[in-house]
Amino acid sequence: MTSPGIPASAPDQGEGHHDPTRTEADDAAPAAGRERHVPEVSRRREAAVGAAFSRLATLSLRFLLVISALVVLGWLAGKLWVVLLPVLLALLLTTVLWPPVRFLRRHGVPPAAAAALVLVLALLLLIGVVAGLAPQVTGQTQELADQVTAGLERLQEGITGPPLNLGEEQIGATVDNVVNELQANAQSIATRVLTGAVAAGSLLVTGLLALVLAFFYLKDGPRFLPWIGGLVGPRAAPHVSAIAQRSWVTLAGFIRAQAAVGLVDAVFIGIGLVVLGIPLALPLAVLVFFGAFVPIIGAVVTGALAALVALVTEGVTNALIVVGLVLLVQQLEGNVLQPILVGRTLSLHPAVVILAVTAGGTLAGITGAFLAVPVVAVAAVCVRYARQQLAELEPGEDSPPEAAGQPDPSLAPDSG
């Protein structure tokens, strides 16, 4: 029996202990631990957000793993560059020499004899060209550097003086640094062009190793694909074969197209310099030819050098004519030669080419600038092939898909 004014105690909870502070309102309220009703819309939103974060975390982890793998590959390539560079140079040389070797093999010449004959003839031709041009080019290297230096100084005077008056101190300091660099290294400019292609070891060792590898590439080239296919296994062999064939076509087309573009540029610009009476026409034409192997940037740099020499030796009028000549040749190259000869082979946007050349030059100097575009072109071939294989996984309703990984018969190398 309870006392008056004192509410009846609630039923004992738990082990029978009574809390005198609890009231009837407390007993009627829902417990905090009881399950609440969550709307279905909120459940779906929570599930979607959780799935999105889970996928983002997975993609981030994959991205970090890919970047780590690329860093490791780059580190290994740097450590093995003394071996990797001759392999790449030999491969590019083989793309140029393979057509005559293939012609000889089709007419019954043994593979070893055909490879050795073409390689020796190519070396003799190169030695003859170098022997004919080297004395004139190297003899005028100092004069060319002096002319470029004088052209930069005259250009500085025109920029800092009236009517432009553009920051004499800043521009002067920049130009002075360039001038000092040219004067200090004038004798070694031509040498740097050659030795810049060597990251480790001597030029002689690298050249000999590249020639030996090129001989084996030319001799046993058609056997490499079956050999690689045997290494990777029957499942990956068709894909490796297709990518290798397409990469070969891309590299061969790039080297031949750039050589043709460089020859056209050198001939037209050289003729124009001779007609205008610009000195050092032959060394400038040679620079234009080799500059063409560094797409876009090489042509701009060599054209600027020709304009600077014309500015110093023949005055502003002839310098402007040289600039117009270079621009005209560049228009011919960009609108006719590049789309026809290079564009069909590489299928790369000019912005991608500029970024690749800049990155390659930053990482490996002249060698990197030269090899950047072929490397990016081969990477683009791999990406396009992967996209093609992914597209073939979803065939149309009317036509059955081709066999996955089936190489293009038109790209198959001639084993003869």
Contact 243, 228 (CB under 8 A): no
Q: Which residues contact 246 (CB under 8 A, 6 or more apart)?
A: 381, 385, 408, 411
pLDDT of amino acid 199? 40
Q: What are the tens digits of pLDDT across the range 75-120?
A: 888 888 888 888 888 888 888 888 899 999 998 889 899 999 999 9
Task: Reduce the DSSP state of residue 266 to 3 states and report it.
Answer: helix
Q: Which of 205, 199, 212 is nearest to 82 (CA)?
A: 199
Distances (CA, A) of 62 to 50, 65, 68, 79, 89: 18, 5, 10, 26, 34
Distances (CA, A) of 66 to 63, 179, 355: 5, 44, 21
Percent of the chain with pLDDT over 90: 7
Q: Is the pTM of this model over 0.85?
A: no
Q: pLDDT tens string for the chain (416 positions)?
A: 444 544 544 454 444 555 666 666 666 655 555 555 667 777 788 888 888 899 999 999 999 999 999 899 888 888 888 888 888 888 888 888 888 999 999 988 898 999 999 999 988 888 887 777 666 666 555 666 666 666 666 666 666 655 555 555 555 566 566 556 555 554 454 444 444 444 444 667 778 888 889 999 888 877 887 888 778 878 888 888 888 888 888 888 888 888 888 888 888 888 888 888 887 788 788 888 888 777 767 777 888 888 877 877 777 788 888 888 888 887 777 667 666 666 666 677 777 777 888 888 787 777 777 788 888 888 888 888 888 888 877 655 444 444 444 445 444 445 44
Cis peptide before 4 (omega within 30 of 0): no
* Residue 153 DSSP symbol: H
Helices (H), 276-349: 281-291, 297-314, 316-332, 344-346
Q: Which of 306, 347, 352, 342 is nearest to 327 (CA)?
A: 306
CA dist., res. 211 & res. 197, Å (int): 15
Q: Which residues contact 348 (CB under 8 A, 6 or more apart)?
A: 356, 373, 376, 377, 380
State the burial class of residue 392 (Cβ atoms within 10 Å of its Cβ: 0-12, 13-18, 19+). Answer: middle
Contact 214, 97 (CB under 8 A): yes
CA dist., res. 377 & res. 252, Å (int): 11
Contact 364, 371 (CB under 8 A): yes
Task: Kindly calculate the radius of gyration of the chain based on its CA atoms and give it in whole angstroms.
Answer: 35
